[in-house]
């Protein structure tokens, strides 16, 4: 039994086709502490999304197990993806309340918290609008509210900023970071963006491909971690860390 809030224990996974079995993840072992922010970085196809699916409980690994607060993953997990997946025929408020109903957390208090959260992310006044009436960044903020309103124990973020323009992406990173700090959420991010991983994370897990394995865990130094993502990018230690992670990734892609 692991010591972390999130325990990933000797996880391996294969996908089977009619012709072959392909080993996608091999012996993934990781302990994530409560309140920690972890990123997975690695070459395309190394199994990052598969690993998130296993952590969320959507996919059962061929071997090994995942525990969240000592139990198998359940509905206590929030998932944010590149696409917002808001229902186009529902208003923003209806979308968010549907999120609460699906997770069985709808009551007067969670409803009121959700509306408060909506104004915290700058979307007050959008309650009766439909997703098509909002910009991409606004829709992702609404999706963030829908995810956080259910008060998940763990937040899984699969490239949630990658479809946004640079400025919107930086603003949303800033917003997510401050909300996660406020609520002390444990989070796992999949990204291809080294800057984003350094700016948001406590630790970065570098994965190698074929099969996906942990190559290295990089601890982001305290002087960067205590800054917001925007300020972190301007810290002198940021560039050196960026270069070293870049080099590690290049070696992983060649190996
Ligand atoms: N449902 C599936 N059936 C068969 N193979 C799959 C399935 N899902 C993923 N794979 C394969 O597993 C490997 C890992 O895929 P995954 O999407 O987890 O990688 P990734 O690291 O998230 O990739 P990317 O960085 O490109 O998003 C890939 O080779 C992919 O083709």
Which residue, judged by its Cα, is nearest atom 29 of ligand 1?
A: 45
Check: pTM over 0.80? Answer yes or no. yes
What ipTM did this prediction achieve? 0.96
Q: Which ligand 1 atom sits nearest the alpha carbon of residue 50?
A: 18
Radius of gyration of the chain (CA): 18
Q: Is 107 exposed, middle or buried (0-12, 13-18, 19+ CB in 10 A)?
A: exposed
Q: 45 C-alpha to center of ligand 1: Å? A: 5
Distance (Å, whole) CA 104 – CA 123: 24
> pLDDT (tens digit, 9 = 90+) per residue, 148-180?
998 899 999 999 888 888 888 898 899 889 989
With a 6 A CB cut-off, is 49 part of the ligand 1 pocket? yes
Q: DSSP class of residue 153?
A: S
Which residue, judged by its Cα, is nearest atom 16 of ligand 1?
A: 47
With a 6 A CB cut-off, is 167 part of the ligand 1 pocket? no
Q: 46 C-alpha to center of ligand 1: Å? A: 7
Q: How confident is the model at residue 2 (pLDDT cuts 50, 70, 90)?
A: low
CB 138 within 8 A of CB 118: no
With a 6 A CB cut-off, is 45 part of the ligand 1 pocket? yes
Structure tokens at 88: 């186009």
> pLDDT (tens digit, 9 = 90+) per residue, 67-105?
999 998 887 899 988 888 999 999 999 999 998 998 888
- The count of other CB atoms within 10 Å of the CB of residue 202 is 17
């Amino acid at each position: 039994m692991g010591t972390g809030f999130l325990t990933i224990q000797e996880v391996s996974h294969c996908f089977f086709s009619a012709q072959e079995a392909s080993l996608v993840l091999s012996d993934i072992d990781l302990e994530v502490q409560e309140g920690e922010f972890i990123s997975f970085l690695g070459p395309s196809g190394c199994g990052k999304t598969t690993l998130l699916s296993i952590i969320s409980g959507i996919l059962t690994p061929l071997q090994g197990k995942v525990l969240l607060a000592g139990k198998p993953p359940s509905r206590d997990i929030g998932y944010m993806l590149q696409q917002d997946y808001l229902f186009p025929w529902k208003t923003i408020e209806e979308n968010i309340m549907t999120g609460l109903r699906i997770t069985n957390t709808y009551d007067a208090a969670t409803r009121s918290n959700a509306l408060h959260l909506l104004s915290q992310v700058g979307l007050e006044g959008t309650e009766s609008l439909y997703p098509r009436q909002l910009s991409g960044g606004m829709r992702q903020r609404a999706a963030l509210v829908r995810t956080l309103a259910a008060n998940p124990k763990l937040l899984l973020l699969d490239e949630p900023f990658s479809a946004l323009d640079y400025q919107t992406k930086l603003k949303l990173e800033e917003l997510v970071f401050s909300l996660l700090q406020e609520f002390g959420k444990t989070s796992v991010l999949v990204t291809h963006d080294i800057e984003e991983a350094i700016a948001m994370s406590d630790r970065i897990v570098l994965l190698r491909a074929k099969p996906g394995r942990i190559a290295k865990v990089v601890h982001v130094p305290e002087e960067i971690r205590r800054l917001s993502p925007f300020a972190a990018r301007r810290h002198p230690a940021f560039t050196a860390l960026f270069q070293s992670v870049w080099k590690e990734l290049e070696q992983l892609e060649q190996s």
